[in-house]
Amino acid sequence: MDLQLSGRVAVVTGASKGIGLAVATTLAEEGAHVVAASRTRTDALPDKVVHVAADLMDPEAPARVVARAVEEFGGVDILVNNAGGPPPGVTLPRAGFLTPSDEDWAAMFEFNLFSVVRMIRSVLPVMLERGGGSIVNVSSTMSRQAGPVNVDYGAAKAAVNQLTKALSEEYGPQGVRVNTVMPGAVLTDWWTKEGGAAEVFAGMAGSDKESVIAEVAPAMMKLVTGRLIHPQEIADAVALLASPRSGSTTGAEFVIDGGQLKEI
């Protein structure tokens, strides 16, 4: 299926690894001009992708990223707000409501909500000038699956969901579609890195890292598929939502979670 992305200009945040890397690569393969924002560039990015070094904890960074896209390609048609998760220097999971301090809450919202707000604020005038565009916000099943782990992260992502709905209502009539992709547990370095989630859960469960990834985590989250999600599976959904082929899809939440969420 031709996604009609050839020649369109896409900005992808958090594009150096995991979901963001898969999204940037997929959009580039579909013919889009891609501007990838992350603190550092990875050699895994296709050569034709333009990288912008940006720390989205810096309030001025989003405007610089959008300005670079306009400078290189004349505008922006697609924004993928993928950057998120643990703020720099933070390891998740983090158990218990009383565990995170005010500073922890502030950093979590700065990285997972306010960076999204600022990216959208920076890109909207450019999109509107071109007659519309597509914004895809990457949220999380933790925004809907409340529990005593990563409370601050789940709250920040729930705010992203609400923001998506509000923006869709306001800017849909002007040609800007805004949707959310809601991944479950994705096999990224959040899980696999040294000291990452798999090792933290292994310590809690008296297990080992490999067993957590292959068995313990899928069982704990009651994943119907019995495995964690591949980043490419998220990237494929993002590409479809970015495409004009999804022209009547806006304000939607696409859950890709291996069957984790059970409610109707």
Indicate if the alpha-carbon torsion angle 7, 36, 110, 199 is positive or negative: positive
Q: How confident is the model at residue 143 (pLDDT cuts 50, 70, 90)?
A: very high
In which residue are the tokens 């859950």 written?
Answer: 255
- 81/65 Cα distance (integer angstroms): 12
Q: What is the pLDDT of residues 224-238, one digit of tens each?
A: 999 999 999 999 999
**Helical pair 18-29 and 231-242, crossing angle rounded to 10 deg:** 50
User: What mean pLDDT do residues 168-186 have?
Assistant: 98
Given a cut of 90, whether residue 12 has pLDDT beyond it is yes
CATH 3.40.50.720 holds for 9-186+230-256 = yes
Q: Which helix (H) or strand (E) holds 134?
A: strand 133-138
Q: How confident is the model at residue 245 (pLDDT cuts 50, 70, 90)?
A: very high
Give how far Cα 248 sits from Cα of 123, 166, 203, 241, Å: 21, 16, 46, 10
Q: Residue 84 region, left (φ>0) first, then alpha (ψ -120 to 50), else beta?
A: left
Given a cut of 90, whether residue 189 has pLDDT beyond it is no
Q: Which residues are catalytic?
A: 153
Q: What is the pLDDT of residues 37-89, one digit of tens each?
A: 999 999 999 999 999 999 999 999 999 999 999 999 999 999 999 999 999 88
Domain with CATH 3.40.50.720 in the chain: 9-186+230-256
What pLDDT does residue 91 have? 82
Q: Which helix (H) or strand (E) holds 25?
A: helix 18-29
